[in-house]
Structure 1
Amino acid sequence: MATAKYEIKPLSPQDRKRIKNQYWLIGGFLLFSGAIFYVIFTSIISSAHNSAIPMIIFGVFGAIFVAVITSIALQNYLELRDGVKHCYTGVVTNKRVNRHTSRTGNNLSPNRAGHGGGRTRTTITHYLSINGEELRVTPKEYNDVSVGDEISLDVSPQKKLILGFEILNTYVNERVEEAPKVQKTNSSRKRRELHISHAERSLVKKLFFKQWRKKLYFFIAMFVLFFPIFTTNLILFSFPLGMVLLYKASRLLSEYNVFRRFMNTDRGKIEIRTSVKDKLTTTSNIAKTKYRLLTAEGQWEVTEEIYEKLSASDAITLYKPAHLDMIFAVSHPNEKSVLYLE
């Protein structure tokens, strides 16, 4: 896979101004943190009772804090001293969102006020791959481009701060707009109902219950967790919780009834001709990687094999079960066989 080449260019006056503005953020954070440290320090002095241990612990935390702030300020200084930026130009080959979830506290104990419990924090980071090299970007750049677009991205070497962004060529729009007349003429042929084989029906059943069981287990967990509340006289809490559980149960039954309709439908396969508008990858430290295709017919989760074989603006055929909001297969003009989501 080709590696993205970057060009080294001098910082513009606007770039320098943006980097210098970081010092205002550092200064504001220092003032806010300094006030907190001062309050903690005065409380330690008044309650230490000639013990050196609290002062040592406070000193260690203070040293770590100063080291972090110094490192950030030094990065800014080096950016301005060197006076250069890395300019990446190329085609976006992939888009990725990473969700990192961390937990603090005792997650095994009941989450009651004043009695511990755990806190969950999720950090979301966006990435664009330019000719195979992955670069961290803000949500704005991530949402503005599609896979296949040619872009120019200016990045600071030290802090990886986005200094410039430009879309040079929108690959998807050009491919989609090649033959608008043909699309209008054949609009009735984009979607048709077909007979579904026994093997395909079994695959849909497997995929459906894989998702439906997750929702069922979550509902059971909620019911077990909140059941003790229904045995008390706390009507103010039990009534809204009961309504939520009733709604969840009705949704589960509704989805199951829709699945039964599919199983009783003879022409249970719907063929949809569309094109790939974008490709999205979602990674997480607590869940498996998800691969999604964004098409004119919606966003669909597919396997890694299908994801890697398709490119932006590819003409594809989706196969979805009747009545169900899911797909079970994808075909590509360059592929002789249908790719199933197994």
Structure 2
Amino acid sequence: MFGTATVLLSAALALTACSSSDPLAGSTTSASPAGTTTSGGGKTVVVGTANFPENVLLGSIYAQALKAKGVTVEEKPNIGSREVIYDQVKSGALTVLPEYNGGLLYFVDPKATATSTADVDAALKEKLPAELEILKSSAAEDKDSLTVTQETATKFSLTTIEDLAKVSKDMAVGGPPEFKKRREQQFKDVYGLEFKEWKPTGDTTADAIKDGTVAAGNVFTTDPKIIINKMVSLQDPKNVFSAQNVTPLVNKAGVDDNVKGVLDAISAKLTTEGLTQMMQKISVDKDDPAVVAKEWLTANGLA
């Protein structure tokens, strides 16, 4: 992103970085803070999560992997949104939290303009307080995407958002009601996209893509409908959508090299596709998150 367009886009991203693609920003339910205790003379690692299924799944993956390596773990799932649980990690009441790096950066620095994974992580390392640390980010992201059917991708040779420039004038695009306001100018400046029509499709965007109401739409990358309907989320090489990589946030005083090594090993294996497949089992097949977590850990040699 260069020139005048870059300045405009950076300002816009600062305002919208986590506005529609930040899972932890969604709820405010609170719970009593977890207390770090000791067991057998060693510190108990307290794994907390926000109160939505994907974060609970990730917390279970972390907790079960740590237990498999002999770490004493206490689980505190479903605590609430970032506004509730961030301070608990900072204070040490929670030791580990599955985070999303882009949303976390915007939370600690609302003026941040970093969008790529590397830049977001670098900015976080500068902005986080001394008590906190992020570990290695995974490739898995729960973020906004522009998604199309496999048929559309094949017909027009679409791999990236930029590829849409040659056909977007004949296409309708769908998303939440605020999608056009937030993204129309960005898409035009960065990728040269001008859609024929913007349709508000809300939570039914994936269905609207499937039935042809829209040719492309704003779908979260871990939505199981992407897999179920064999859709294609187009790559975003110029980072219009800020990175939202699953990233462990830890209280430095509560973790040692063993804990860090276990969590880094998880991040090395976790992908968006794998996370989406697990979420399909939970949201569609109604499998228990702990069971799904155990299956994934076993399949990846981590438990």
TM-score, normalising length from structure 1?
0.19
Higher relative contact order (CA 8 A, sep 6+): 2
**Larger strand proportion, structure 1 or 2?**
1
- Under a length normalisation based on structure 2, what TM-score does the superposition of the two structures give? 0.20
